[in-house]
């Protein structure tokens, strides 16, 4: 079974600064996908960024980028130029790349607070 670990329950960052959220996972699969989701206080979850395990290049979406270390099974999210609207709970998630039982496995989440 796959597991996703987010060891930091809370983090805080000053507006305009950079912050990195950690995530590690455990799997015996070789082909899989990794995701970061954001859940703002209003509770509607949105996809921030995703990474296919077969791609060596780290995914980037505007101010959000990942550091994907496949051998170390690490998938951290870097938020540059933090904004107040980045305050939210962030979930790291894993999904194996097979049709059978392809489900999302989430970490426990990390609460990020951006200070003005």
Q: What is the DSSP string of 47-81?
A: EEEEEETT--SPPEETTEEEEEETTTTEEEEEE-S
Rounded to a whole number of angstroms, the minimum distance from the CB of residue 16 to other proteins is 28
Q: Which is nearer to other proteins, 103 or 115 (CB)?
A: 103
Residue 77 C-beta: closest distance to other proteins, Å: 16
Pairing outcome for strands 32-39 and 3-5: unpaired
Query: Closer to other proteins at the Cβ: 101 or 116?
Result: 101
Q: Which CB atom, from 41 or from 85, has the smaller least distance to other proteins?
A: 41
Shortest gap between Cβ of 50 and other proteins (angstroms)? 7
Cβ–Cβ < 8 Å for 7, 96 = no
CA proximity to 26, closest of 92, 72, 90, 77: 72
Q: CB 54 → other proteins: shortest distance, Å?
A: 12
- Closest to other proteins by CB, 34 vs 114, is 34
- Which residues bind to other proteins, rule: CB under 8 A? 33, 42-47, 50, 52, 91, 93, 95, 97-99, 101-109
Rounded to an integer, what distance in angstroms lies between the CA atom of residue 80 and that of residue 15? 10
């Amino acid at each position: 079974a796959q597991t996703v670990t987010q060891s930091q329950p809370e983090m805080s960052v000053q507006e305009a600064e950079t912050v990195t959220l950690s995530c590690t996972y455990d799997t015996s699969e070789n082909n899989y996908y990794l995701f970061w989701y954001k859940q703002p206080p209003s509770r509607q979850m949105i996809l921030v960024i995703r990474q296919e395990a077969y791609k060596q290049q780290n995914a980037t979406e505007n101010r959000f980028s990942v550091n994907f270390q496949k051998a170390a099974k690490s998938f951290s999210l870097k938020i540059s130029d933090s904004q107040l609207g980045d305050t939210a709970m962030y979930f790291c998630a894993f999904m194996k790349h097979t049709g059978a039982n392809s489900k999302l496995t989430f970490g426990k989440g990390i609460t990020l607070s951006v200070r003005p």
